[in-house]
Structure 1
Amino acid sequence: MTVTEVYLSKCQHILQTIQQQQPQIQQAAQWFSESILAGRMVHVFGSGHSRIMVEEMWPRYGSFAGFNPIVELSLTFHNLVVGANGQRQAMFLENVSGLADRILRNFDLSSQDTALVISSSGTNIVPVEMAEIFQKNGIKVVALVTKEHSEASSSKRTDGKKLTDFADLVLDTGAPVGDAMVTLAGLDTPVSPGSTVGGAAIVNCLKAETAQLLTQAGRPPKVLSAAAVVGSERAVELFEAAYDEHAHRLAKMYQQVGIPSYVSDSI
């Protein structure tokens, strides 16, 4: 087999692993649809490269309002690699206790919300504390991890707890320990990770299942669609409507947050 064939074969195994999780995916989608139908949101968080799955959920073609993408640049901006805003700092901040609380201080959380927290290892402090805070607020948490990798990894928390310890439901990307999937002759470390493939596939399964439930409930989502598919006028209409709906939903996350003011009291 060529190395490309090896990688694609590993990806097929990932897809089989995801297919076996259909009941869990459908359960998560049920919770997500209930939040969206209630006018609330599904909070989606990922640090490091898990940001990729957050952006895959919303906003992009084939996605719709109802998801709150929580992305902190200090934890996810990898382009410079070294120097100011470099990867070393991001990896350090990912394990600073208390940062998750500072992030979520910005939102007026409700038990009607749900959350999807993404972390391949499920061991870094910020995503673990994020899930812990969500649960303390009565919010159902869906964790997206790489099961084999998480089980083989040690938590950065002193109590040893991982993301899966604060999850109402766990989904598995299907990638192997260490993530990289291709072993080459003469190279002592494997290359080409698989968690992004599995993570993106699961996110889009969740999206499709949620869209079906919303449609069946009489609230079909306004899906961002290409002009090549729906025509230019309809594409613009959908984009504007979806973005406005997102703004309306997000407004609820801010209007009663924190210390009351005469503005919040008048709402």
Structure 2
Amino acid sequence: MFQYMDRVESILNVVKKEEAESMNQVIELLTTANLEKQSIFIFGASHAGILMEEMYYRAGGMMTINPIFGKELMLDRSPITFTSQMERLEGYGVALAKTVDFKENDVLILHSVSGRNPIIIDMALEARKKGVKIVALTNVTYSKSVTSRHSSGKCLYEVADIVIDNHGDIGDATCDIQGIEQKVGPTSTVIGSMILNSIMVETCQKLVESGMTYPPIFYSANLDGGDKLNQELYEQYKDSIHYQF
């Protein structure tokens, strides 16, 4: 019954050991971005976009995380296979990136498990043209086992400034089922969420240690006074917040 939990725990132990340095680099990057009122963006396509939603407008989360939504990549799209077609359509990521007000030294977190599809490479390359720092959350072993679908021939880990490896299985699913070859139980969402939330927690700690009395953390709207506190924080950080509040 606990095969999946055991496997996730095993992967997390590897992440703690192997990715601490990269995670600390991202923590420093996000701390600086918040202190200097630079903008932080996050993007992922289809299921990779679940982490984008996890980081966005969430009690206990960071206000200054700005999602980049592509409507043709969301999981409510029908037929759902259309999202896969759009991930593979070179040029769409460029067009989507051009709708974002990227500035030099902003930060863009990109999540893609395989890191091979044009959408994520386009987004990274276009943002880099404007001097944006690229953080890749991906699976390096997976990427090295497949060919890039982008005309550059590169995968996400090859166009990022900082790479965090989620250390999942090739193909993402991780649990063996007796009687069939196909594994089940993808790990990228839960591992990725643990990685990003860990980074956000430590970034907030760094901000407080830097002298920030009220870091940009969402209060729960279901707590008395939560809406008022969130509005006050928004006024302080609105230059770094690009979504409608």
Calculate the TM-score normalised by the size of structure 1.
0.83
Paired residue for 2:108?
115
Deviations 1:97-130 (A, max 9, x none): 1112211222332112011111000001011111
1:54 equivalent in structure 2: 52
Cα distance in 2, alignment partners of residues 55 and 244 from structure 1: 22
Match status 1:8 vs 2:5: yes
1:56–1:203 Cα contact (<8 Å) kept: no
Match in the other structure for 2:227: 236
> Hey, what's the Cα distance between the residues in 2 that align with 1:247 and 1:38?
13
Structure 2: state its 5+ residue gaps: none
Find the residue that maps to 2:26 and give its secondary structure.
Answer: helix
Would you say 1:195 and 2:188 are equivalent positions?
yes
Give the 3-state SS of the residue equivalent to 1:27 in structure 2. Answer: helix
Bigger shift: residues 189-198 or 107-116: 107-116
For residues 124-147 of structure 1, give each alpha carbon's deviation from its aligned partner in whole angstroms, at most 9, with x where no partner exists.
101111111122221111100022
What RMSD, in angstroms, separates the aligned Cα atoms of the two structures?
Answer: 2.0
Matches of 1:225 and 1:18, distance apart in 2: 29
Larger helix proportion of the pair: 1
How far apart, in 2, do the equivalents of 1:105 and 1:154 lie? 26
Aligned-residue sequence identity (percent) comes to 27
Within the candidate set 84, 94, 99, 1:106 is matched to 99
Residue 32 of structure 1: how far off its partner (Å): 1.4
Q: Residues 97, 225 of structure 1: CA spacing in aligned structure 2 closer, same or farther, 3 A cutoff?
A: same
Partner residue of 2:150?
157
CA deviation map 1:234-259 (0-9, x unaligned): x22233234555644246x9xxxxxx
Work out which of the residue numbers 69, 72, 75 in structure 2 matches 1:74: 72
Name the SS for the 2:169 alignment partner. coil
| Cα distance change on mapping 1:127 and 1:242 into 2, 3 Å | farther
Instruction: State which drifts further: 46-55 or 96-105.
Output: 96-105
1:184 to 164, 173, 177: 177
Asked if 1:223 corresponds to 2:214, the answer is no
Residue type of the alignment partner of 1:223:
I
Aligned residue for 2:26?
Answer: 28
SS of 1:232 mapped into structure 2: coil
1:79 & 1:227 partners in 2: Cα distance? Answer: 26
SS at match of 2:38: coil
* Unaligned residue ranges in structure 1 (runs of 5+): 254-267
Equivalent in the alignment of 2:139: 146
- Structure with bigger gyration radius: 1
The aligned amino acid for 2:53 is E
